[in-house]
Chain A
Amino acid sequence: GDSVTQMEGPVTLSEEAFLTINCTYTATGYPSLFWYVQYPGEGLQLLLKATKADDKGSNKGFEATYRKETTSFHLEKGSVQVSDSAVYFCALEGGSYIPTFGRGTSLIVHP
């Protein structure tokens, strides 16, 4: 079945540091890929998505590129802020509309 593997957290960075959170997936066919963010006490929010190979999703300074050859969708940001502290979930949707989520990676950004 479909699965998503994320790097374990927490990831702890200083403000303005470069962020990478790794995500790899296993799926049949050509899934859509997503990153969701969950701030403390809130529900998940869609951060960005990509629906086909080589697509780049971007939002709020975050980027991720759909790499079919490496089955990866790594999340990057050039300069993180304290307000980016949250839990980030990688997810995929295959042929159905039911997403499969990774375990989540906690990001802590210090001033």
Chain B
Amino acid sequence: GAGVSQSPRYKVAKRGQDVALRCDPISGHVSLFWYQQALGQGPEFLTYFQNEAQLDKSGLPSDRFFAERPEGSVSTLKIQRTQQEDSAVYLCASSLNPSAKNIQYFGAGTRLSVL
């Protein structure tokens, strides 16, 4: 596609519910990132994939958070037993290859509200 696509754009979940957030990166992009953006804050790194390999998950806040990219393209971020503190915008970004100088292209994000 033309850009990074995320779905759904908005998700309301009851506390304790599991959610799955989808990211379609730009075709051919090797690197994929997930970020969490709390209200009034900048994006905070969650996890990084190079193709299907999850090379860094140091930013995942708890073991309730899980991400996968099984075929090296589409990625899913899953949050189990959601809590109110999980409410945030979840951003996905992709870049052509794992160079520190490469541009990251961001999706519009999924706004998660946990009630």
* B103 is an interface residue with CB less than 8 A from chain A: yes
| Pairs across A and B, CB under 8 Å, 16 listed | A43-B4, A43-B106, A44-B106, A45-B106, A95-B100, A96-B100, A97-B31, A97-B48, A97-B100, A98-B33, A98-B45, A99-B45, A101-B42, A101-B43, A102-B42, A104-B40
Output the least CB separation between A105 and chain B (Å): 10
CB–CB B109/A43 < 8 A: yes
CB–CB B108/A42 < 8 A: yes
Count of chain A residues with a beta carbon within 8 Å of a chain B beta carbon: 23
Q: Which residues of A contact B4 (CB under 8 A)?
A: 43
Cα distance, A4 to B110, chains bound together (Å): 24
* A46 is an interface residue with CB less than 8 A from chain B: yes
Closest A residue to B5 using CB positions: A43
CB–CB A97/B42 < 8 A: no
CB–CB A41/B99 < 8 A: no
Tell me whether chain B's interface is mostly helix, strand or loop, or mixed.
Answer: loop
Interface string of A14-52 (1 = CB under 8 A from B): 000000000000000000100010000111111000010
Closest B residue to A96 using CB positions: B100
* A103 is an interface residue with CB less than 8 A from chain B: yes
Q: A32, A91, A100, A104: which contacts B41 (Cβ < 8 A)?
A: A104
CB–CB B108/A41 < 8 A: yes
Q: B31, B42, B103, B108: which contacts A103 (Cβ < 8 A)?
A: B42
Output the least CB separation between A32 and chain B (Å): 6
* B102 is an interface residue with CB less than 8 A from chain A: yes
**A42-99 interface with B by 8 A CB criterion:** 42-46, 51, 89, 91, 93, 95-99
CB–CB A51/B91 < 8 A: no
CB–CB B40/A46 < 8 A: no
Cα distance, A89 to B33, chains bound together (Å): 17
CB–CB B98/A97 < 8 A: yes
Q: B31, B41, B56, B100: which contacts A93 (Cβ < 8 A)?
A: B100
**B1-57 interface with A by 8 A CB criterion:** 3-4, 31, 33, 40-45, 48, 56
